[in-house]
Amino acid sequence: MNVVITGGAGFIGSHLAEALLAGGDTVTAIDDLSTGSLKNLEHLRPNPNFDLVVESITNEGVLDHVVSSADAIYHLAAAVGVRLIVERPVRTIETNILGTDAVLKAAARYGTRVFIASSSEVYGKSERMPFAEDADMVLGPTTHSRWCYSCSKAIDEFLALAYHRQRGLPVVIGRLFNTVGPRQTGQYGMVVPRFVEQALAGEPITVYGDGEQARCFCHVRDVIPAVAALTSEPKAEGGIFNIGSTDCITINALAERVKTVTASRSEIVHIPYAQAYEAGFEDMRVRVPDISRVTSLIGFRVTRDIGQIIQDVARYFKSAKQ
């Protein structure tokens, strides 16, 4: 198959490109390199079945050209990281909504299958665990920038489902929960790469809030097969699927675990949310996916635990330094 990956130079996009190429697909990655990195794709560049187009997906002519010969589109290009979202809300809203609009318009011209990467942020601050795909969204006020990410991803989903219902476009929506692994950067606030880098450098490990908030981290290499399987599964069309681990850990416990796995002597410090992000910042206490839908449709399985994730991330940072 000929596939297009938007956001192909990003953390998840580059792993997806690698897996699809290994499976025999021809891959065109399109990325404006705003948060993605050429370094993530270096090892794929010599592959004759791989092509990289450095351009924004909102360039209609370029997008149309790459989509015209594609059998499927994986739409991963999006604003990334809570910190960046809080700091640059205009860019977040425009990137997510205008980008998805452009991709769906192009896909509709050719009837191309589209995977839309959505996010567990769509559930907002709901406290009804685990999150099932048809649960209500519970969002905070528009005065708090964090919620613009949630809202923009929800609009992306609405738009994709609208194209499916109204125009019969084959779309599949995946809601990714705290996906982590090698190549993820801590630059935009993600906790696992930040803690591992801090631990390796012997710097303080910065836990935000009281650290008793919990997350379920899933290794990107467990997420990728699910994304590929859902996209080629006809029964997934028009559906929304949570993808993630159900194994939760508090951020305090994560900090301890990172210290142990990396044999670090870093101290663990606590920083108030208002200082880390912005005044009035609202965080989720816990976030757990209900994965029964994806499990029963494609046999999704999580095979790597948090210890293995930390080890892989630490190995990546150590080798990147050499």
Phi, psi for 251 (deg, rounded to 5): -70, -30
| Stretch of 54-62, 165-173, 206-214, 305-313 contacting ligand UDP, by CB under 6 A | 206-214
> Does residue 208 bind ligand UDP (CB under 6 A)?
yes
CB nearer to ligand UDP: give 12 or 190: 190
> Does residue 190 bind ligand UDP (CB under 6 A)?
yes
> Does residue 6 bind ligand UDP (CB under 6 A)?
no
Q: What is the DSSP letter of 175?
A: E
Interhelix angle 89-110/60-68, nearest 10 degrees: 40
> What's the half-sphere exposure (Cβ side, CA atoms, 13 Å) at 311?
5
Q: How far is the CB of 264 from ligand UDP (least distance, A)?
A: 15
End-to-end CA separation in angstroms for the chain: 36
CB nearer to ligand UDP: give 75 or 194: 194
Selected binder of ligand UDP within 215, 219, 221, 259 (CB under 6 A): 215
Q: How far is the CB of 191 from ligand UDP (least distance, A)?
A: 4
| Stretch of 10-18, 99-107, 204-212, 235-243 contacting ligand UDP, by CB under 6 A | 204-212
150's enclosing H/E stretch is helix 146-167
> Does residue 240 bind ligand UDP (CB under 6 A)?
no
Selected binder of ligand UDP within 64, 71, 233, 283 (CB under 6 A): 283
Asked if the bond preceding 130 is cis, omega within 30° of 0, the reply is: yes
Selected binder of ligand UDP within 92, 150, 179, 206 (CB under 6 A): 206
One-letter identity of residue 149? Y
DSSP H helix total and E strand total for the chain: 11, 14
Structural contact between residues 272 and 136, judged by C-beta atoms closer than 8 angstroms: no
> Does residue 178 bind ligand UDP (CB under 6 A)?
yes
Residue 165 CB burial class (10 angstroms; 0-12, 13-18, ≥19): exposed
Please identify every residue annotated as catalytic.
149
Q: What is the binding site for ligand UDP (CB under 6 A)?
A: 82, 178, 189-191, 194, 206-208, 213, 215, 251, 283
